[in-house]
């Protein structure tokens, strides 16, 4: 989704800007600063970025030392801006004319995933520290809102969703941060976000946990998980209250994409929609509240960006055929 394997910034932007709803790509192969965890860590107290060893270093004692200074700057938007040093790609995106698109999208790693990924000097995830966690959720919330405000200046229908690849970990016995704590923290976090509230993940969490949260948009890997999620009553409730599903339907792994055609992907997608229709979801509402997307990010293909670009091309053709079949138009189409 947001992460792409490209090393050529302009080529990655060209691909992203070819979609109906473009986004700014995260390109970790260009620089470690383009890593989604690193970008979200900019200006967080207690954090240092080790560029040589490609690590995010957090020290709890430094966190408390830097906390007073951080609170002094907590009302300054510059504290939460994604700077050129931490994402040249984002700033190149902002230089483009984005006003003619129906919408544009940004992204930021969620506080849950960031808090589970970054560890202290004792290798303990920082989300386990109550005071750190409280600052972390507020910090990421402000970073998301700052990005939303900047994107909204380029397009009034901008939105920013949070990536949450680590979310499924809280439902295992290996996590010291459980779903009860996470539910309260996540709802407070989402409640303070400006604009549409969205989450993207490729993992397999408890779907009720997400669908019953204060979400407007849920983006997920429907290629692999669609047959499961359509059986949740909470998905019908999500649609009925106006929620939007971004169906990640086009695989980005070479071995999977080579087995698919536009027609086979349409058949798979329509099987999900038919299942929801049979469970009482109005078909017109379902179509109106659906987006189509690649199934996952992918940095692992041996052909580097070739398969990913092919997936994006198939996505555009798939979207065109679905719109023609069901008589749908984009907001910027006449």
Residue 213 lies in a domain: yes
The single-letter DSSP state of residue 36 is H
Is 331 a residue whose pLDDT tops 70?
A: no
pTM: 0.94
In a domain, 52, yes or no: no
Residue 21 lies in a domain: yes
Look up the domain containing 93 and give its range: 9-31+80-326
Question: How many independent structural domains does the chain possess?
Answer: 1
At 177 the pLDDT is 82
Give domain status of residue 19, yes or no: yes
Q: How many CB atoms lie within 10 A of CB 283?
A: 12
Q: Is residue 62 part of a domain?
A: no
Mean pLDDT value across the chain: 94
Tell me which residue of 214, 209, 324, 222 sits closest to 272, measured CA to CA: 222
Question: Does any domain span residue 236?
Answer: yes
The reply to whether 2 falls in a domain is no
The stretches of 80-199 forming alpha helices (DSSP H) are: 88-94, 111-117, 130-152, 179-191
Q: Is the pLDDT of residue 242 over 80?
A: yes
**What CATH number is attached to the domain comprising 96?**
3.20.20.210
Does some domain include residue 60? no
Q: What is d(CA 49, CA 55) in angstroms, rounded to the nearest whole number?
A: 6
How confident is the model over 118-174, as pLDDT tens digits? 999 999 999 999 999 999 999 999 999 999 999 999 999 999 999 999 888 887 766
């Amino acid at each position: 989704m947001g992460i792409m394997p490209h090393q050529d910034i302009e080529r990655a932007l060209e691909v992203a800007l070819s979609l109906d709803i473009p986004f700014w790509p995260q390109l970790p192969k260009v620089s470690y600063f383009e890593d989604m965890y690193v970008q979200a860590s900019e200006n967080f107290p207690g954090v240092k970025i080790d560029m040589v060893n490609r690590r995010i270093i957090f020290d709890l004692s430094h966190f408390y030392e830097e906390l007073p200074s951080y609170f002094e700057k907590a009302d300054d938007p510059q504290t939460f801006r994604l700077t050129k040093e931490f994402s040249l790609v984002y700033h190149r995106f902002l230089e483009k004319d984005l006003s003619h698109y129906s919408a544009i999208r940004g992204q930021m790693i969620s506080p849950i995933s960031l808090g589970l990924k970054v560890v202290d000097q004792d290798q303990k995830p920082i989300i386990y520290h109550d005071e750190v966690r409280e600052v972390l959720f507020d910090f990421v919330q402000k970073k998301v809102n700052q990005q939303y405000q900047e994107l909204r200046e380029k397009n009034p229908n901008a939105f920013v969703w949070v990536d949450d690849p680590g979310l499924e970990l809280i439902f295992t016995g290996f996590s010291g941060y459980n779903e009860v704590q996470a539910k309260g923290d996540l709802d407070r976090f989402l409640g303070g976000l400006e604009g549409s509230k969205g989450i993207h993940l490729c993992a397999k969490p408890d779907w009720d946990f997400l669908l019953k949260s204060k979400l407007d948009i849920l983006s997920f890997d429907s290629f692999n998980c669609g047959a499961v999620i359509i059986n949740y009553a909470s998905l019908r409730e999500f649609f009925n209250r106006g929620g939007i599903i971004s169906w990640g339907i086009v695989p980005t792994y070479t071995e999977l994409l080579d087995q698919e055609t536009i027609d086979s992907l349409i058949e798979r997608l329509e099987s999900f929609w038919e299942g929801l229709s049979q469970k009482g979801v109005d078909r017109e509402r379902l179509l109106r509240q659906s987006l189509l997307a690649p199934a996952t990010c992918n940095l692992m293909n041996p052909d580097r960006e070739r398969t990913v670009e092919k997936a994006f091309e198939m996505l555009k053709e798939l979207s065109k055929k679905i719109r023609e079949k069901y008589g749908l138009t984009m907001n910027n189409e006449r």
